Structure 1
Amino acid sequence: MTERNGREAWPPELTELLRKVDKLRRSGRYTEALSRMRQLTETYPRQARVLLEMGMTLGVWGGAPAEALPWYERVLEMAPGHASAHLHRALALATLGRHAEAVADFDALETVGFRKALVLHMKRAESLEVLGRYAEAERDWTLALAEDPDNPWLLHQRASARARLGRLEEAVQDITAALAAQEGEPVDAELLRDRGVLRVRLGDTAGARADFEAGLAALREGDPSGLADDLRHRLQEMG
């Protein structure tokens, strides 16, 4: 079989074989999918896509990121600029708590112009926050919002980063924007609580009280456990 760029040409039959594995994974037949992938890695040990799919089978579908890592490493040894391998290695490293290494992989992805910019910025921001690098995390939340404007969850995450940086007024603005973006949906009591906390820090007791009271009134099934007690406690503390 001929090689191109140091890798073997793609055998036509592999497309259908991998499609069958994916069907097994998606239907919950993980053990059978894993067995088939092991056979494919033995038959096609120089196919980067096969090695990547083996890693994804273990890491994504099997919840075994530590076992998946060596497969991503093999892909990157064969093809150092392989974007999907960098992404999945970064995600596995983050899951394992190896956030500095994950950030390095996300940085490498950014260098090659990874097309899924939202995923890159969102996941790198999460790792940066764990590392306490809040200014960089805030930058990434902002870049993620450029890809998905007015996303309430992203606005909430950026608000949290900005609050840690002492940028309280901007954090309040983000949460206010997140609440506005949920127009037509049930009010998010957690967002109201978090905005109230920020307003307390800013000395806006009237605004904070209004948020805590609105949060209590907006509570619904499925909200975080303890949220109601937290809101009541905060109101009591205000007298």
Structure 2
Amino acid sequence: MVTEALVLVSALGPLGRSLLAELAAGLAPRTDAGTVLAALREFERRTRSFVVVDSPGRLHRPAPSLWQHMWGLLPGTCFVGELGSRVTAVGRGGLPQAMRDGLADPASSVHYTDTGDVSSHRRSAVEQIVASAAPRRHVMHPAGGEAAAAWWGPARSVEVCVCPADVGEIIAAVHSGSVVCSWCGLTAGGGSCAVCGSAISRHSAAGPVRIEPTSTAARSSSSIPHMTSEGLPA
């Protein structure tokens, strides 16, 4: 029986939202709703979301340039789009060096959708993203199918998320600047409680959270709650 629910409106794509759902499922039984919501927001803030396509012609987000549309007609190319940023053309030389350097994050996990049924150019681009990030772990997920196509645009889009590997560090960051809401008693930050909406004061600091770090790579289909295209119940 569901007695309460929190809804997080996420700007991430289908793969990113599934990672948020998995994190919520792991945290909800062991800490308060305010901490769960704040942790999800912090996790999303630190997550970089990419899509890898053969042609940028139908890409919804981010928007490709006119010359990239033209370049997409040439063989041997693919394109990497970063959500909230730009599209990068990847030729025979591979990912641009600046992009490789910017991806380096040894404290990360890299999650990507199945590359078994895509071009060798896209598969190589995903492998280069993983190698450039040099993450603690990398995990392949099932292809996104219709949900990914509806979100990104092109059919058979390959999604990649570079996200924090240490959930315990996320929780510590959340509690370092939070207080206990005087009305609902849950963890809150900013000017108002994200759970009940009450204004908060800074005179009462939140206590430490006793919670074991949860790896986002540890997965169970039964632990992932139902999600809509925009909302996430925790």
TM-score band (shorter)? under 0.3
Q: Greater CA radius of gyration, 1 or 2?
A: 1
Under a length normalisation based on structure 2, what TM-score does the superposition of the two structures give?
Answer: 0.22
Under a length normalisation based on structure 1, what TM-score does the superposition of the two structures give?
Answer: 0.22
- In terms of fraction of residues, the more strand-rich structure is 2
